[in-house]
Amino acid sequence: MVNDTIPRGLLSLLLVASPVAAVRLWATSYNDHALYSLRLQYEGLTVTAKSLDCGSEPTWMTLDKGKSTLYCLNEGWGGNSSLTSYKVNEDASLETLDVLPVLKSPVSAALYGPNNNGLAVAHYDTSTFSSFDVKDTSNLALSQNETYTMAKPGPVPARQDAPHLHHTILDPSKKFMVVPDLGADLLRVYVLHRGYIAWSEIDPVQALPGSGPRHGVFATAGPKTFFYVLNELSNTITGYKVTYAPGALRMDRLFDVSSHGPGGSVPAGTSAAELKISPDQRFIIASSRGENSLTMPNFDPKNSTAVPSDPLISFKIDQATGSLTHVQTAPAGGRNPRGFNINKAGTLVAAALQDDNRVVVFERNISSGELAGIVGWATVGEGEGNGPNYALFDE
Ligand SMILES: *[C@@H]1O[C@H](CO)[C@@H](O)[C@H](O)[C@H]1NC(C)=O
Ligand SMILES: *[C@@H]1O[C@H](CO)[C@@H](O)[C@H](O)[C@H]1NC(C)=O
Ligand SMILES: *[C@@H]1O[C@H](CO)[C@@H](O)[C@H](O)[C@H]1NC(C)=O
Ligand SMILES: *[C@@H]1O[C@H](CO)[C@@H](O)[C@H](O)[C@H]1NC(C)=O
């Protein structure tokens, strides 16, 4: 439906000509229970190692570059969930430091506190916000947790039977952690105790009923702060203006627009997934699953049949008002882009395509905010479906 917005570069699978200095990435895959190390070079993307120490369903990864430590969450669909810490060696190989059993279905983590000694975790199935003391990266420990209940299901009962915490987002002042709760239609807010990893809960922000807030980002624009949340159930993006008072963070809703931009729509069965902000704070990119309304050239050069793809949708942030302008709807590299990340320079985007056993790295134009050609792709995951779900740059 939006093929006309795809730039010409994306219609070619030839690797773009600009040389790429070696870039290291990781990707997690559910179906073969692995954390993959990958290297992107001029020749493309290659798998360099695999670790099975992130448990049965490896998902979200958090890097503490300063401590050369990578944290990996295991959703543990069967019930054995865990948090693994790895030392990242000079040659990018991973050395397991600790594996801590945690409450079921951790789906997102964020570092915070003095020297990044705290790791905040959202647990989906078990409706819990936890924090871990990761001061000693070889001896991880639970520090605090809060479990929520709901008196009755939300407007989308099949998905809102209980609170489902989905993301942990440190605010730009590093004083608050915001946690979208897909089940309860809330943005839960925690004040971080200065100088400690302890936290206290403050009043949550009400999200739109039935929206199912999933992932969010803060954006700073001069003295202003905005917050955007991608809603999985309504497939919309809600924008907020953020203001601070001592010990309080206030969010005033500015707008709620389709994940495809104002006036956009999605086919039945769509589930919005990931939301990231560009390092220059000028653009956000959303991923959407279950649409498959775009096509790309086949990744097998001998096969002329085009393959379906879900989109990555880029928006430009109006620095004065926080409103969003649609920039581009581009193929994500295949089906089910559950997780993706932008590199620090803003010049590369790595997407994990869960239903296609593929990780794809795109070039990105930092001036226009548009994705351009593919600079590399690799097969990640073995078996049908439920393959790679998160990709992260080592930087
Ligand atoms: C969890 O781990 C324990 C100990 O290794 C094992 O006995 C149990 O079967 C596992 N449970 C599930 C649901 O995988
Ligand atoms: C939550 O924290 C309490 C208090 O520290 C602890 O007793 C309990 O085991 C924790 N529960 C889980 C599931 O982490
Ligand atoms: C070509 O690609 C299509 C789409 O992925 C696939 O269904 C078909 O099996 C492929 N053909 C060959 C010969 O691999
Ligand atoms: C990046 O986008 C700008 C427009 O904002 C354009 O002028 C420039 O040519 C683009 N760069 C490349 C390499 O396509």
Q: What pLDDT score does 67 carry?
A: 98
Q: pLDDT grade, residue 90 (50/70/90)?
A: confident
Closest CA to 48 of 107, 108, 89, 82: 89
Task: Give the C-alpha separation, 34 to 328, whole Å.
Answer: 32
Q: How far is the CA of 370 from the centre of ligand 3 (A)?
A: 29
CATH class of the domain comprising 8-393: mainly beta
Domain coordinates of the chain in residue numbers? 8-393
- Give yes or no for residue 5 having a pLDDT over 60: no
Average pLDDT over the chain reads 94
In 210-322, DSSP assigns E strands to: 213-221, 224-231, 236-245, 248-258, 271-277, 283-289, 294-296, 307-309, 311-317
Residue 392: in which H helix or E strand, if any?
Answer: strand 388-393
Contact in structure between 340 and 287 (CB atoms under 8 Å): yes
Token code pair at residue 392: 């992260």
Tokens 């992107």 locate to 40
The preferred substitution site among 119, 142, 165 for testing ligand 2, maximizing ligand atoms within 8 Å of CB, is 142
Closest CA to 177 of 212, 146, 151, 134: 146
Whether the predicted model's global pTM rises above the 0.85 cut: yes
Q: pLDDT grade, residue 92 (50/70/90)?
A: confident
Contact in structure between 143 and 198 (CB atoms under 8 Å): yes
Task: Give the C-alpha separation, 155 to 159, whole Å.
Answer: 9
Task: Give the C-alpha separation, 173 to 111, whole Å.
Answer: 14
Strand 348-353 to 339-342 pairing? antiparallel
The atom number, within ligand 3, closest to the CA of 306 reads 4
For 83: left if phi > 0, alpha if psi spans -120 to 50, otherwise beta; the answer is beta
Ligand 2 pocket by Cβ (under 6 Å): 103, 142, 145
Ligand 3 pocket by Cβ (under 6 Å): 298, 303, 305, 307
- Give yes or no for residue 355 having a pLDDT over 70: yes
Contact in structure between 286 and 275 (CB atoms under 8 Å): yes
- Give yes or no for residue 1 having a pLDDT over 60: no
Compute CA distances 286 → 60, 100, 312, whole Å.
Answer: 17, 31, 6
The number of CA neighbours under 13 Å toward the Cβ of 10 is: 28
* pLDDT digits 0-9 by tens, 154-211: 999 999 999 999 999 999 999 999 999 999 999 999 999 999 999 999 999 999 999 9
Contact in structure between 176 and 190 (CB atoms under 8 Å): yes
Q: What pLDDT score does 14 carry?
A: 44
The atom number, within ligand 4, closest to the CA of 366 reads 1
